[in-house]
Amino acid sequence: MNTDLSQAHWFKSSRSGGSKECVEVAFLADAVAVRDSKHLAGPALIFAAAEWDSFAAAAEAGVFDHDR
């Protein structure tokens, strides 16, 4: 998939605390892009909207939580 991200509106989670060690997300017309906030010109991962919705639901449900 070759997606033009030049006009994407990127944002960090409000829970990032201003740290530069975060990921940024951009919601596109039919997909969601994710990039490393330390490498703004670097590559981005592109997910179909349904894939992102499944990931977000699993994260909210605690599927990825683990004991430290």
Give the residue extent of every domain in the chain.
14-60
- Residue 25 pLDDT: 94
**pLDDT reading at 68 higher than 50:** no
Within 10 angstroms of residue 24's Cβ, the number of other Cβ atoms is 19
Q: What is the pLDDT of residues 13-61, one digit of tens each?
A: 777 766 667 889 999 998 999 999 888 888 999 999 999 999 999 999 9
